[in-house]
Structure 1
């Protein structure tokens, strides 16, 4: 296909998404009374789509869907969008077709890429994951209801991708090899597996551990920003850690989570691993990987924060976030020497990135601008 003429200005696009933000906020507040263009209540339309998304992916629960929608309702306000765009030279963008292959492990996990392409002024050719193919069309439908010409900025691809100028693809290490082979001749961003870790010193408070529980358990630990590994000093006492995790005990009532917990516990016990177990989370010593199965965490010991900083610098391409505070955070930041990844964040904030917090530390907007 030829690139469609983009019939909107940057201000039009910002205004459309900002109005979508307000509509989503009204829905979340229970005060949404507006009607769609075909006379249906927006409240009912949104509710129906959320229910459909949940039926198609049982990891998408009421809580995780509400959290994701809330995060985007807050991110898409006019001030945030304006600040995000203000330092990029968007006045000479020539529209290109950008193929987007999205992941589906979290609700709306691919929407930042979609938004980035549209807000810059390119055309997004969206190939949604079958695990999350309801929510992005919903948000775009809402935004387009406020600016009909926004429809020229995106389309959906069900079959083979053709006639694209660049690619942004997100997947596993295995799919990345396929993406690199298939799309390697075009400008691209290809994302692989990454994990997030938390650095504990033994001086944390219960409040900090409860905040960390969000980093561990939000979205059931399925995201690259979910903490999957703990770095702890030798002799660390896990009592306070487990006390902080206890606020998430209700997760064990989720059937899929329970099945993973039971399965992984059985595997670990048959393999005679030494486990720490609080009846809904398993942790075991792990020195070879930052990843861990659902309902479990790995941990490894360190002697000096400086050693950790060197390790993170050497393995930066495997890490999305490092949760750390105080002197530990400062030491890691200094060693990374300005690298954009991993991102160093406070306890409880891994799942609340801003618009400027790019996956893998790769500035998507800057990449898109190089295409014009």
Structure 2
């Protein structure tokens, strides 16, 4: 029984515990139900508010849609009205443009006709002006040609006259030279005869009257002095004749030179020729004076036949700035031969890179020394010794023909 009691008590406790647990579960279930109910009510309230908002939005959208439809209808009507007006304006503009194009085309045609007329008139004026200019140029050319031809004829006549005068002067100089040479030969023959006669007389009377030797020597010196004076005059005359012979060639060369720069070296060359001739005559007179002081009478008698040649050689050999004297002893006298040598420093060193005027002046001075020095035309004893460098030859070879001819 006690076991039953204990079992009943235990079962009752378990039933109470189960009732309590069921009550707690029920309370929790009601609490959860209430919570869910509250949440559902809140959700329904939110949904109802949302529905109310949606209804209000729908109402607004419907009203907006109605306004947009009304505005669209108005815009469609305005667009149709604008299109109609634009079409009308375009038609009016097209008509106006057609009228303006027609007017412009008419005006352009008139301008083209006017321009063609003006071009024709201008072309005629230009052709007339060109013909007038051509006629004027032809007339000027004819006048200048006639004037140049007349000047050329006058210049040619003047040159011919000057050439004839120069040739006549040259012929007169040659005739005078021949006459003076003949006179010199006659004087030499006379002097030889007088010297030989006086020499014979001096030899025949020297043993008897020794005191007459000084007197005869004085007489011989008085005879020799006039002959030496004549020789001096002869050398001067021959130098003048050499210059006269060179003038025709210089005349023919100078009449082709037209520029002042090419004529200036010739004037300087003439001045140097004058100075050279003066120094030449002075040196020749000094040489002859020294030779005339020899007391030997036989020298003058035996060498009288070669006195003219030696004097001419002295005149022509002493042209250069330096001279080399050679004494050749003969059987009865002494012959003095003066051989000209132009030293290497007579001209400055040739500069092939210098200006053309300086090169031309240097070449003209070189040609002056090489060709203008007087010498004996028969024996040509004078030898011009100058260095002609290869650079000068190359420079002369590259010169144009016009410069070489000048």
Please classify the TM superposition score into its range, dividing by the shorter chain length.
Answer: under 0.3
Q: TM-score, normalised by structure 2?
A: 0.22
Which has the larger share of strand? 1
Q: TM-score, normalised by structure 1?
A: 0.23
Greater relative contact order (Cα < 8 A, sep 6+): 1
Higher-Rg structure is 2
Which has the larger share of helix? 2
